[in-house]
Amino acid sequence: MTDGGPAWPDDPQGQDARLPLAGVRVLDLSRVLAGPLAATILADLGADVIKIESPQGDETRRWGPPFHGDDAAYYFAVNRNRRAMVLDLRAEKDQEVVRSLAAMADVVIENFLPRQLVSLGLDRVREDARQAVWVSVRGAAGAGPLADQPGYDAMAQARSGIMSVTGHPDSGPTKVGLPVVDVMTGLYAAIGALGALLGQHRRPDGRPAHVEAPLFECGVAALINQAANHLVGGVVPGLLGNLHPNVAPYGPMPAADGTLIVGATSDRQFDALCRALDVPQLPTDPRFAGNAARLAHRDELTELLSTVFRTASVRDWESRLSDVGIACAPVNRVDEVFGEEQVEAGELVQEVEHPAGLVRLVASPLTLDGIRPPIRRAPPLFGEHTDEILDALRHGVDE
């Protein structure tokens, strides 16, 4: 409790003292994907997260089918391990609730446009919540001309250059088949929050840390080797489909019953691959002697290897190549992914109680001391904890 004022509404049901962020309080004012994902990462690590939604609700609740109860499956992907309440940030009394919660939070996450932040008075809330790390998820960084433009994953994939290196020459640019920039931005936002929490005590001016996680810049950072190829070597990469810009062979191979991704990233691995395929003469062929030569003659090499790979099944090749240390993997459909023994063995999918019935969700990919953090709460219903949290705040004031 804070000096006779309201107290943060504790959540004994959702807390786990064994987790590293147990006791850390997070106020999540964000919606859709990147911001809620950042809050989910902190929640999976033990933080107590309260999600605030407008009377219209998080848009992803309606982004279906499929649905589980009243909410779309999309919403379930990034809203576990938290409580939720509904507040109208345009109403003064609801703004006061947000102000009270922010004043007790360790981290506040929001993804409003800068002009929206000001119009809702949240810039003043940020100034008053001096103890909190404030995380802003944006379409683009505040220092640039795109700062006040709305941002979505597809636009970020396009502007950042990701789409220009994704796709086949005959099909043209395409986006990645999942919201990859949103996901990376959520990861950067969570990392920034954790870094700022660790460094708070070292800030000499006593001002609260402000972390900005912008989609465009996170997309540019994700170019990694493609960016370095351009900045260092002047290369303007194009569409390579599933091929690697710097290594050959590295990509899909057609087996008798499906497709296998195979990578041989050194001369030693290429030699081992050729021996496993019973074509031991290829490493001494001048066209394929060294990675630079293999890149220059990639089409010829791919055709030669594909002829061999077509003679056996994916499973057969996976077994043979794994025996000699060659990285490979089947191209799974999503349903096949959840049949993988690795998924089942690691409890990556967990079942959790929900008012609409049991629901299976992907849990945190992390393990802590060999244990995967459990899903402690199902994604909450719209406004599920509003009255409970308001009652706890009023109780703190009364005391």
Q: Which residues are catalytic?
A: 182
Whether the CB-CB separation of 211 and 30 falls below 8 Å is answered with no
Alpha-carbon distance of 16 to 147, in angstroms, equals 38
Which uninterrupted H or E stretch holds 167? strand 167-168
Closest CA to 255 of 302, 319, 315: 315
Whether the CB-CB separation of 374 and 353 falls below 8 Å is answered with no
Alpha-carbon distance of 25 to 17, in angstroms, equals 13
Omega of the bond prior to 280 within 30 degrees of 0, cis? no
Burial of 323-340, coded b for 16+ CB within 10 Å and e otherwise, reads eeebebebeeeeeeeeee
Looking only at the bridges linking them, the beta strands covering 359-362 and 107-110 are: unpaired
Whether the CB-CB separation of 330 and 318 falls below 8 Å is answered with yes
